[in-house]
């Protein structure tokens, strides 16, 4: 198979890039190792910044996001009894949108056939070849056969652990990294909102609570804590304090 751009990974980055290239009339094939159901079941982001919502609108794919998403104008920092409101709207003139990453992925996936964006799911053993040449290609296995895609460009949207990052020659690779002095763990829980009728995120010094998401009521809670250093590298302490978050009642998760 031949295409102009082969994209590895059908997460939000790979799908968004694929749609943007298709909108310019560029031929694209996206290769994803997982099934569509697996990708759609992978719960991650819940809060979208302006760039993402803007791009969805530019692609003409933002209708469901605006209908079902929850725009937020700001958030609260909780410090003991003190609540400090950060008014994003007043400070920047922008909002963030609470709309699940899986929903963005679904919108991009469902629009793909109508825009001739080809996505190959369940592709095993994805490998990049000839990156230092003018004729790079991607190979993968599917249905008992090895397939090859010749492309002018290959875009690696397969995350930190995917094959693209490892395939880039060390002599031309530059890594940009910023390490923050904390880590977090997010859990999506089916519980009532922290503050009824509030459209504001709440962040606590120890706990970060995203009031969100679905009609049934749900919350994402994250514990922010100083990242611990060890001799073997960085380890993140992910302890949870249920009582601080939900009073005495532990939520059903
Ligand atoms: C708990 C959590 C909460 C988050 N909350 C937010 C938030 O509120 N707001 C926000 O903006 N961001 C948030 N993020 C970050 C956000 O989820 C990521 O930035 C986003 O998923 C990155 O998208 P991506 O497409 O680059 O990578 P991914 O979503 O990781 O997609 C990579 C794709 O590549 C595929 N792939 C991997 N290896 C291969 C291979 N060998 N061959 C083929 N395909 C392969 C994977 O299956 C996957 O589909 C959160 C992340 C987590 C984990």
What is this structure's pTM? 0.79
For residue 190, the model assigns a pLDDT of 59
Residue 231 has pLDDT above 90, yes or no: no
In a domain, 58, yes or no: no
Chain-wide mean pLDDT for the chain? Answer: 79
Contact 223 CB / ligand 1 (< 6 Å): no
| Average pLDDT for 14-31 | 98
The radius of gyration of the chain from alpha carbons, rounded to an integer in Å, stands at 21
In a domain, 251, yes or no: no
Q: Which segment of 84-98, 120-134, 151-165, 174-188 scores lowest on mean pLDDT?
A: 174-188
For residue 21, the model assigns a pLDDT of 98
> Whole-angstrom distance between the N-terminal and C-terminal Cα of the chain?
45
Sheet of strand 70-72, all strands in order from the earlier edge strand to the far edge: 47-48, 96-98, 70-72
Contact 3 CB / ligand 1 (< 6 Å): no
- Looking at the fold, whether 91 and 203 belong to one and the same domain comes out as yes
- Looking at the fold, whether 150 and 120 belong to one and the same domain comes out as yes
More confident residue, 7 or 179: 7
Q: What is the band of 70 on the pLDDT scale with cuts at 50, 70, 90? A: confident
- Looking at the fold, whether 116 and 34 belong to one and the same domain comes out as yes
- Looking at the fold, whether 112 and 86 belong to one and the same domain comes out as no
Rounded distance from Cα 82 to ligand 1 centre (Å): 34
For residue 54, the model assigns a pLDDT of 95
| Average pLDDT for 12-34 | 98
Structure tokens at 199: 């459209």
- Looking at the fold, whether 42 and 121 belong to one and the same domain comes out as yes
| Average pLDDT for 117-125 | 98
CATH number of the domain where residue 124 is located: 3.50.50.60
User: What is each CA distance from 137 to 22, 97, 127, 132, 154, in whole angstroms?
Assistant: 20, 38, 8, 11, 8
Rounded distance from Cα 63 to ligand 1 centre (Å): 23
Q: What share of the chain has pLDDT > 90, as a percent?
A: 51
More confident residue, 205 or 80: 80
* pLDDT tens track for 127-158: 999 998 989 999 999 999 999 999 999 999 99
- Looking at the fold, whether 139 and 31 belong to one and the same domain comes out as yes
- Looking at the fold, whether 182 and 242 belong to one and the same domain comes out as yes
In a domain, 62, yes or no: no
Q: What is the band of 63 on the pLDDT scale with cuts at 50, 70, 90? A: very high
- Looking at the fold, whether 161 and 229 belong to one and the same domain comes out as no
Domain that holds residue 79: 73-96+178-246
Contact 98 CB / ligand 1 (< 6 Å): no
Among candidate residues 224, 199, 208, the one with its CA nearest the CA of residue 98? 199
- Looking at the fold, whether 89 and 106 belong to one and the same domain comes out as no
* pLDDT tens track for 91-114: 999 998 988 889 999 999 999 999
In a domain, 137, yes or no: yes
For residue 82, the model assigns a pLDDT of 81
For residue 203, the model assigns a pLDDT of 52
- Looking at the fold, whether 153 and 210 belong to one and the same domain comes out as no
In a domain, 218, yes or no: yes
Q: Which helix (H) or strand (E) holds 5?
A: strand 2-8
Which of 167, 193, 224 terminates a domain? The answer is 167
- Looking at the fold, whether 109 and 7 belong to one and the same domain comes out as yes
Q: How many domains does the chain have?
A: 2
Which residue from 72, 141, 162, 209 has its CB within 8 A of the most atoms of ligand 1, so it is best to mutate? 162
| Average pLDDT for 15-39 | 97
- Looking at the fold, whether 33 and 107 belong to one and the same domain comes out as yes
Residue 78 has pLDDT above 80, yes or no: no
Q: How many residues make up the chain in this entry?
A: 253
- Atom from ligand 1 closest to the CA of residue 16: 25
């Amino acid at each position: 198979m031949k295409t102009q751009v082969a994209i590895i990974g059908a997460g939000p980055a790979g799908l968004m890039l694929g749609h943007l290239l298709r909108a310019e009339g560029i031929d694209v094939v996206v290769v994803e190792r997982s099934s569509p159901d697996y990708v759609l079941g992978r719960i991650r982001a819940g809060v979208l910044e302006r760039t993402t919502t803007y791009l969805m609108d530019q692609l003409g794919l933002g209708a469901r996001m605006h209908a079902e998403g929850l725009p937020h104008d700001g958030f609260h920092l909780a410090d003991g009894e003190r609540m400090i409101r950060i008014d994003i709207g007043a400070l920047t003139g922008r909002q963030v949108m609470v709309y699940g990453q899986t929903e963005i992925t679904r919108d991009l996936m469902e629009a793909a056939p109508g825009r001739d964006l080809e996505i190959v799911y369940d592709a095993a053993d994805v490998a990049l070849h000839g990156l230092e040449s003018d004729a790079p290609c991607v190979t993968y296995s599917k249905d008992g056969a090895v397939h090859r895609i010749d492309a002018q460009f290959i875009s690696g949207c397969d995350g930190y652990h995917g094959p693209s990052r490892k395939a880039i020659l060390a002599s031309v690779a530059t890594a940009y990294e910023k390490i923050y002095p904390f880590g977090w763990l997010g859990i999506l829980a089916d519980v009532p909102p922290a503050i009824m009728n509030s459209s504001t995120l709440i962040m606590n010094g120890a706990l970060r609570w995203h009031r969100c998401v679905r009609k049934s009521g749900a919350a994402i809670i994250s514990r922010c804590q100083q990242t611990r250093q060890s001799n073997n590298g960085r380890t993140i302490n992910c302890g949870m304090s249920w009582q601080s978050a939900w009073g005495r009642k532990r939520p059903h998760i």
